[in-house]
Copies of this chain bind each other. A is one copy, B any other.
Amino acid sequence: MLTVALPKGELLKNSIRLLQSVGLDFSAFLDSTNRQLQITDASGQAKGLLVRGQDVPVYVEYGQAQLGIIGYDVLREKKPQVAHLVDLQFGYCRMSVAVKASSAYKSPLDLPAHGRVASKYVNCAREYFHSLDLPVEIVPLYGSVELGPITGMSEAIVDLVSTGRTLRENGLIEITTLYESTARLIAHPLSYRLNMGNLSDLIEKLRKTVLIPI
């Protein structure tokens, strides 16, 4: 039986809706009283695995799930060995550099050399500043990255922005965007190549569903 890894959080609702449209019902995961992390869809065709976003590519990479849905930002940051299949076109957000609105920095190149940049996305941040040839110190944080500039620990942050509300509330502004992100369908490379459980059929159906404008 196929297993699909689904991400907790922002992308879950749309992921479940998409799978429903191709006949796989994992809506039990949306029930707030649900404590199960593994369920079989009503039609008995597939299993759903509910995990942290960053863990989705891990389960897919190890073949514990043949398919997964995850934000492009996680794929960019972790570079897991999975097949990138379809841009699912929901979950839009962008990876941005932000600074204090009151600061004099209008562009990343205005940042002082050897300044500090706080981020949960240390690899993305490091790569970006490396591409600018601007040496900065990346400060790894796990939450509330906006506290970096507020407390004075860092000059800037690299973080995922969707509505921009958190930035505004904390007096920060975006000065550039590294890349844009949406939800992606990924697969375990070997399962995909061997067309395990007629995977290609399901992928084709998902691809068609995404192409139909809602």
Interface residues of A (CB under 8 A from B): 3, 8, 37-38, 49, 51-55, 58-59, 62, 64, 116, 139-144, 147, 150-153
Contacts and interface: CB of A to CB of B under 8 A. Distances in A.
A37 B147 contact: yes
A201 to B, nearest CB: 24
Q: Top 6 nearest A-B pairs by Cβ distance?
A: A52-B143, A64-B153, A52-B142, A54-B142, A64-B151, A62-B153
Q: State the oligomeric state as a number of copies.
A: 2
Nearest to A150: B38
A169 to B, nearest CB: 8
A151 B55 contact: no
A55 B143 contact: yes
Given A37-B147, A147-B38, A153 B59 contact: yes
Given A49-B151, A151-B49, A144 B58 contact: no
A70 to B, nearest CB: 12
A10 to B, nearest CB: 15
Nearest to A50: B144
Given A58-B139, A62-B139, A139-B62, A52 B153 contact: no
A143 B62 CA distance: 16
Contacts of A62: 116, 139, 153
A58 B141 contact: yes
Given A37-B144, A55-B143, A64-B153, 5 more contacts: A3-B151, A38-B147, A49-B147, A55-B142, A62-B116
B142 A64 contact: no
A170 to B, nearest CB: 9
A54 to B, nearest CB: 5
Contacts of A59: 151, 153
A58 B139 CA distance: 8
A3 B55 CA distance: 34
10 contacts: A38-B147, A38-B150, A38-B151, A49-B147, A49-B151, A54-B142, A55-B142, A58-B139, A58-B141, A62-B153
